[in-house]
Amino acid sequence: MAARLAGKTMSEAAEPEMPTHALNAGKPAAPMVRLSAVSKSYWRGGEQLTVLNNLSLEVAAGDFIALMGPSGSGKSTLLNLVAGIDRADTGQVEVAGVDLATLDEGALADWRAANVGFIFQFYNLLPVLNAIENVELPLLLTGLHADARRTRARQVLGLVGLADRLDHRPGELSGGQQQRVAIARAVVADPRLIVADEPTGDLDRAAGADVLALLGRLNEGLGTTILMVTHDQHAARAARRVLTLDKGVLVDSAGG
């Protein structure tokens, strides 16, 4: 798993106009994620609820971050901003050199397809598709032809240890297996960034440990930057760096 898979070409096929690769090539130390003075608030019954207030953060390429903090502190909100499925009110969200505010809805969708892999607490697999079809989904957005998609999806399912479960539907898999399919789906298009919102939240300890080990290997082997929200100290230990968000303030602590 030392070498990256054929993914580079896939990202390029999907987003030929994206300048990020060129930018990165020049300065490898550039942060993968840079939040500058980001604020986000919600209006609830005429009252403004500020979730993120003037928050700044840098995440280096290849880092594995565990984001912790009490419920309602804004962890998911922060993750969604970085993943490009939510927008900041003020401030700048830059990922791999791209200011997400400059992208319109469609361009942002294409950008996500090329750059972000999602892992959800409840796996969010499509129940009518089997494992390999679920993993193939992101590849539909790459312009890769059917044979190559199939081959690639099979390969990645092998990496997560599910080579013998290719044609199982989600309903025929355990929670841990489903989350591994979801991880395969998140990495299959070779994103720069993986965002995971409580990926072990619905799993027992052993299955959770499997998932964390897998994320660790992806981070080390593929160099994928991972941003993971978790409530679990064990989970946090898998990360290189732990950030705690509380009352709008980010506190850095060394990771496991």
Partner 1 sequence: MLPVRSLPAMHALRNLRARWVTSLLTAGGMALVVFVFTAIRMVGAGIEATLVATGEADNLFIISDGAETEVQSTLARDQASIVMARPEVARDQAGRPLASRELVVLISLPQRDGARPANVTLRGMEAQGRTLRPRVRLLAGRWFNPGAAEVVTGRSIAARFDGAGLGETLRFAGRDWRVTGVVDGGGTAFDSEVWGDLDAFMQAWRREAYSLTLMRLASPGPEAAFRRILASDPRLRIDVQSEAEFYARQSRSVRLFFDVLGWVLSLVFSLAAIIGAMLTMYASVAARTAEVGTLRAMGFRRDAIFLSFLVESLALGSIGGVVGVLAAALLGFVSVSTLNWQTFSEISFRLTITSEIATSAILFAVVMGLLGGALPALRAARLDILAALRAS
Ligand X SMILES: Nc1ncnc2c1ncn2[C@@H]1O[C@H](COP(=O)(O)OP(=O)(O)OP(=O)(O)O)[C@@H](O)[C@H]1O
Helix (H) or strand (E) holding 51: strand 47-60
Considering only 6-14, 64-72, 126-134, 172-180, which stretch makes contact with ligand X by CB under 6 A?
64-72
Q: Is 117 in the site for ligand X (CB under 6 A)?
A: no
Q: What's the N-to-C CA distance of the chain in angstroms?
A: 22
Interface ranges with partner 1 (CB under 8 A): 80, 83, 85-86, 105-106, 109-114, 116, 118, 120-122, 124, 126-129, 137-138, 140-141, 143
Q: What is the DSSP-derived secondary structure letter of residue 30?
A: S
Least distance (Å) between residue 209 CB and Mg ion: 21
Question: Minimum Å distance from CB 19 to ligand X?
Answer: 31
Give Dmax over CA atoms of the chain in angstroms. 54
| Among residues 20, 77, 179, 224, the one that binds ligand X under rule CB under 6 A | 77
Phi-psi region of 212 (alpha: psi -120 to 50; beta: other; left: phi over 0): alpha
Q: Is 75 in the site for ligand X (CB under 6 A)?
A: yes
CA distance 177 to 90: 40
User: Quick one: angle between helices 205-222 and 175-187, nearest 10?
Assistant: 20
Site string for ligand X, 173-212 (x = CB under 6 A): ----------------------------------------
Residue nearest to ligand X (CB): 76
Q: Is 42 in the site for ligand X (CB under 6 A)?
A: yes
Instruction: Report the nearest approach of ligand X to the CB of residue 95 (Å).
Output: 18
Smallest gap, in angstroms, from Cβ of residue 2 to partner 1?
A: 27
Beta bridge mates, 127: none
**Judged by CB under 6 A, does residue 76 bind ligand X?**
yes
Which option in ligand X, Mg ion, partner 1, none does residue 42 bind, with CB closer than 5 to 8 A by kind? ligand X
Q: Is 122 in the site for ligand X (CB under 6 A)?
A: no
Q: Which stretch binds Mg ion (CB under 5 A): 57-65, 69-77, 106-114, 136-144?
A: 69-77
Least Å distance, CB 44 to partner 1, is 15
User: Where are any strands of DSSP class E within 61-119?
Assistant: 64-68, 90-95, 98-99, 116-119
How many other C-beta atoms can be found within 10 angstroms of the C-beta atom of residue 22? Answer: 9
DSSP line for 170-229: GGGS-HHHHHHHHHHHHHTT--SEEEEESTTTTS-HHHHHHHHHHHHHHHHHH--EEEEE
Nearer to ligand X, 24 or 80 (CB): 80
Residues that bind ligand X (CB under 6 A): 42, 44, 49, 51, 69, 71-77
